[in-house]
Amino acid sequence: MLNAKSFLAVDFGAANLKLVEFELNEAGGLLLRQYGFKSLGQEGTQEATRESAVGKGLHGLLADTRGSGVGLPDPRSDRHR
């Protein structure tokens, strides 16, 4: 669907990170297009290392989803800001 409107949602949990892509369907409902999950490990539970763990996890999820052919934004581009 070239004209489909989709959006991302990110859940920053205590021990893991979830990234989902939804698309609006013709009826106005949501269609789950893609789901990604990444454990933050021990680094994600410690305040001193959490920011780095979340950044690495999010970058990894975005890199994995771009490889699947779904049009998620490149985190290095200005397009998604």
pLDDT in tens, 6-24: 888 999 998 999 999 999 8
The model carries a pTM of 0.66
Q: Terminal CA-to-CA distance of the chain, rounded, Å?
A: 23
pLDDT at 77 over 70: no
Cα dihedral across residues 58, 64, 68, 74: positive or negative: positive
Residues 20-71: pLDDT tens digits?
Answer: 999 988 888 999 998 999 999 999 999 999 999 999 999 998 888 765 544 4
Report CA dihedral (56, 61, 67, 68) to the nearest 10 degrees: 170
Pairing of strands 30-39, 6-12: unpaired
DSSP annotation of 17 = E
